[in-house]
């Protein structure tokens, strides 16, 4: 059993009151709250280590560079990357995917090629591919999802018949909580020669990620969704692929030699890290990873699955509530995200009513408008759990939903 | 501990009249002979409205809307359409300004009988993030009126 109460006590923000109630934070798929250990690591970096990295010849700058590169090694080990050179620090998942589309995609895609995405991709793993395909005259193929919110593998098989150059999908759906069979999908895509891009924004915080076993080609993650600071994240790639790619942003740090009219470029990963990087973010992210590893990713996944299963059971007992995505007995196929609607009460009205009880949920399209169309809803309400949530939070959610129902004339069963 | 007593505010926000307009919207549909059509959405929350008007010699003769969204945006649209028939364009714009004042917490506007059923939405001013919901149809109206005179 995971000691969620101790973890909650570790996060200063969660001690706050909201509208006169204990803050019940259930919007973890959007961002997570930070333990004191992460806040301390950031402050400590600025108090003792701050200097520009990879430049200074003095001891302080060397210590800053060491801290930054140690963070890279921490990220690499955390997801079992191919090597630390394959870890490019980015602002987050969105920038990481844009880097792949803007560099690898732009260099390899030609008119008539196809790129495959899924009907459950976040806009950040969709719009960069739309932009790329429009620029290249390539086709973007969106794979259907099944009724219970999984990638439709038979439609995926049909999409592969065109021998796409790139296949992109989310490991875990931010809107439905579906844990996709990533290794299986990567294998199928590789069999037709596609390069595989995995959106890891929702998987890295919640399930044990082993990239060498998963065998994708590119993997994007965000630090702020896993107890780390905003503006931290990484693209993790197979080093040979990364090495062959043209630069993404030009500037300092990414060069080797610069002449009047051309330049040669630095080695990976530095070739993709133009300008002064977010060292504070990298250091904070490494501290967050240390914190998560002390809890244990397997226990985190188990804890969230249990909370999600309880929440689904409690919510579906309320007449009029519909929960989307894999059912309560999906086990490890479902992470701690519970998307739902309640009769004709609009999700924004639900969010406003829950907020009065100090409960933070997300209401809207969750940056997945194509998915919302497939589910035939304009929006859903979404509760998403993390390490500091407990059964008391599920109780608060269910109780406040009954209140919302009463305001809209629904009678509790 | 519980100093704010939220329930009275919530009850004020979700009055029966608002839920009635949300569930039985007035003037819902489209116009064949519309002179003004505007579509607006709120990309943050996905609320949508398509507003159509038939204006004849500066007087609004017919108004219809199609929308998807929360109770506040849809009730506001329904209540708005009730008020617009046989109003002149300047009168409609003046109503939009009155509505906006009520959303800013103007008590006199909240008591103004000219706003009709819309006065039930006065409680929205206590929920700043929801004000844009209530004003979405009014912004569509203002856009339509401006486009018409341009």
Which residues, including other chains, have CB under 8 Å from residue A346's CB and lie 6 or more apart? A363, A378, A379, B69, B70, B71
With residues binned 3-state (H G I as helix, E B as strand, rest as coil), the percentages for chain A, rounded to 5, are 45, 20, 40
Tokens linked to A410: 């629904």
Of A55 and B4, the structure prediction assigns the larger pLDDT to A55
Specify the pLDDT at position A65.
97
Domain membership flag for residue B18: no
Domain membership flag for residue B94: yes
| Mean pLDDT of all residues in B3-29 | 84
Percentage, residues of chain A above pLDDT 70: 100
List chain B residues with CB under 8 Å of A409. 19
Q: pLDDT band for B149, please (50, 70, 90 cuts).
A: low
Distance CA A57, CA B18 (A): 68
A353 in B contact zone (CB under 8 Å): yes
Are residues B7 and A356, on separate chains, in Cβ contact within 8 Å? yes
| Mean pLDDT of all residues in A6-12 | 98
Are residues B45 and A379, on separate chains, in Cβ contact within 8 Å? yes
Average pLDDT, chain B: 90
Distance CA B39, CA B48 (A): 7
List chain A residues with CB under 8 Å of B11. 407
> Which has the closest alpha carbon to A65: A270, A266, A287, A236?
A270
Q: pLDDT band for B6, please (50, 70, 90 cuts).
A: very low
Burial class (CB in 10 A: 0-12, 13-18, 19+), B2: exposed
Domain membership flag for residue B12: no
Average pLDDT, chain A: 96
Domain A4-28+297-407: top CATH class: alpha beta
**In contact, A366 and A380? CB cutoff 8 Å:** yes
Specify the pLDDT at position A412.
66
Phi-psi region of A193 (alpha: psi -120 to 50; beta: other; left: phi over 0): left
Specify the pLDDT at position A175.
96
Q: What is the dihedral of CA A132, A135, A138, A142, to 10 degrees?
A: 40
Topology agreement, domain A4-28+297-407 and domain A39-293: no
| Mean pLDDT of all residues in A122-134 | 98
Distance CA A138, CA A156 (A): 18
On the question of pLDDT at B4 being above 70, the answer is no
On the question of pLDDT at A8 being above 80, the answer is yes
On the question of pLDDT at B145 being above 80, the answer is yes
Are residues A349 and B14, on separate chains, in Cβ contact within 8 Å? yes
A361 in B contact zone (CB under 8 Å): no
Number of structural domains in chain B: 1
A378 in B contact zone (CB under 8 Å): yes
- CA–centroid distance for A17 within its chain: 28
Domain membership flag for residue B13: no
Residue-wise pLDDT for B31-62, tens only, equals 999 999 999 998 777 789 999 999 999 999 99
Residue-wise pLDDT for A312-360, tens only, equals 999 999 999 999 999 877 788 999 999 999 999 999 999 999 999 999 9
Residue-wise pLDDT for A349-399, tens only, equals 999 999 999 999 999 999 999 999 999 988 999 999 999 999 999 999 999
Domain CATH number, residue B62: 3.90.1010.10
> Where is A283: in which H helix or E strand?
helix A279-295
Percentage, residues of chain A above pLDDT 90: 94
pTM above 0.80, yes or no: yes
Q: pLDDT band for B5, please (50, 70, 90 cuts).
A: very low
Specify the pLDDT at position B11.
85
Residue-wise pLDDT for B58-74, tens only, equals 999 999 999 999 999 99
Q: Assess whether A367 carries a catalytic annotation.
A: yes
On the question of pLDDT at A413 being above 60, the answer is no
* Domain carrying residue B137: 24-149
Domain boundary assignment for chain A: 4-28+297-407, 39-293
Specify the pLDDT at position A111.
98
Residue-wise pLDDT for A252-287, tens only, equals 999 999 999 999 999 999 999 999 999 999 999 999
Identify the closest residue of chain B to A369 by CA–CA distance. B46
Q: Is the peptide bond before A313 cis (omega within 30 degrees of 0)?
A: no
Degrees (nearest 5) of the Cα angle A361, A364, A368? Answer: 115
Are residues B4 and A19, on separate chains, in Cβ contact within 8 Å? yes
Specify the pLDDT at position A95.
98
Structure ipTM over 0.85, yes or no: yes
Degrees (nearest 5) of the Cα angle B65, B88, B90? Answer: 100
CATH number of A39-293: 3.40.640.10
Specify the pLDDT at position B1.
38
Residue-wise pLDDT for A61-112, tens only, equals 999 999 999 999 999 999 999 999 999 999 999 999 999 999 999 999 999 9
> Which has the closest alpha carbon to A272: A247, A299, A306, A297?
A247
List chain A residues with CB under 8 Å of B47. 348
| Mean pLDDT of all residues in A12-30 | 96
Nearest-Cα distance to chain A for B89, in Å, is 32
- Which CA distances in Å does B46 have to A25, A149, A368, B136? 23, 21, 11, 11
Distance CA A403, CA A396 (A): 11
């Amino acid at each position: 059993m995971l000691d969620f109460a101790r973890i909650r006590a570790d996060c200063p923000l969660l001690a706050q009151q909201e509208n006169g109630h204990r803050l019940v934070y259930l919007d973890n798929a959007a961002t997570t709250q930070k333990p004191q250990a992460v806040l301390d690591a950031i402050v400590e970096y600025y108090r003792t280590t701050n200097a520009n990295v990879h430049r200074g010849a003095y001891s302080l700058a060397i210590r800053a560079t060491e801290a930054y590169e140690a963070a890279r090694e921490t990220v690499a080990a955390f997801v079992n990357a191919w090597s630390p050179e394959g870890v490019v620090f980015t602002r987050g998942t969105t920038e990481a995917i844009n880097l792949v589309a803007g560099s690898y995609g732009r260099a390899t895609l030609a008119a008539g090629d196809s790129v495959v995405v899924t009907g459950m991709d976040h806009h950040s793993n969709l719009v960069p591919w739309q932009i790329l395909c429009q620029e290249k005259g390539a086709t973007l193929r969106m794979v259907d999802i099944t009724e219970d919110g999984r990638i439709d593998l038979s439609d995926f098989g049909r999409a592969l018949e065109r021998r796409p150059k790139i296949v992109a999908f989310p490991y875990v759906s931010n809107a439905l909580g579906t844990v996709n069979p990533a290794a299986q999908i990567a294998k199928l895509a590789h069999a037709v020669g596609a390069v595989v891009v995995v959106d890891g924004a929702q998987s890295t915080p919640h399930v044990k990620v082993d990239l060498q076993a998963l065998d994708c080609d590119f993997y994007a993650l965000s630090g702020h969704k896993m107890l780390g600071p905003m503006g931290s994240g990484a693209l993790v790639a197979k080093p040979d692929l990364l090495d062959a790619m043209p630069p993404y942003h030009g500037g300092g740090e990414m060069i080797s030699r610069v002449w009047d009219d051309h330049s040669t470029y630095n080695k990976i990963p530095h070739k993709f890290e133009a300008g002064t990087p977010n060292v504070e973010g990298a250091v904070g992210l490494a501290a967050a990873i240390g914190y998560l590893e002390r809890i244990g990713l397997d226990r985190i996944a188990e804890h969230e699955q249990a909370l999600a299963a309880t929440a689904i059971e409690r919510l579906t007992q309320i007449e009029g509530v519909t929960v989307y995505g894999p059912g309560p007995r999906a086990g490890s196929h479902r992470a701690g995200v519970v998307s739902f609607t309640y009769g004709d009460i609009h999700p924004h009205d639900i969010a406003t009513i829950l907020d009065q009880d100090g409960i933070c949920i997300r209401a809207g399209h969750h940056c997945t408008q194509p998915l919302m169309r497939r589910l035939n809803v304009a929006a859903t309400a979404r509760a998403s759990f993390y390490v500091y949530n407990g059964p008391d939070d599920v109780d608060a959610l269910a109780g406040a939903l009954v209140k919302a129902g009463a305001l809209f004339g629904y009678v509790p069963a | 501990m519980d100093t704010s007593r939220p329930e009275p505010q919530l009850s004020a926000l979700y009055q029966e009249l608002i839920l009635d307009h949300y569930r039985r919207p007035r003037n819902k549909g489209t116009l064949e002979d519309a002179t003004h059509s505007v579509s607006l959405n709120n990309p943050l929350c996905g609320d949508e409205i398509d507003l159509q008007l038939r204006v004849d010699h500066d007087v609004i003769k017919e108004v219809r809307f199609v929308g998807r969204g929360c109770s506040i945006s849809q009730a506001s649209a329904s209540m708005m359409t009730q008020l617009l028939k046989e109003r002149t364009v300047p009168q409609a714009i003046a109503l939009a300004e009155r509505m906006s004042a009520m959303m800013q917490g103007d008590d006199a506007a909240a008591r103004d009988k000219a706003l009709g059923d819309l006065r039930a939405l006065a409680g929205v001013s206590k929920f700043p993030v929801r004000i844009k919901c209530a004003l979405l149809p009014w912004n569509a109206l203002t856009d339509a009126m401006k486009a018409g005179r341009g």
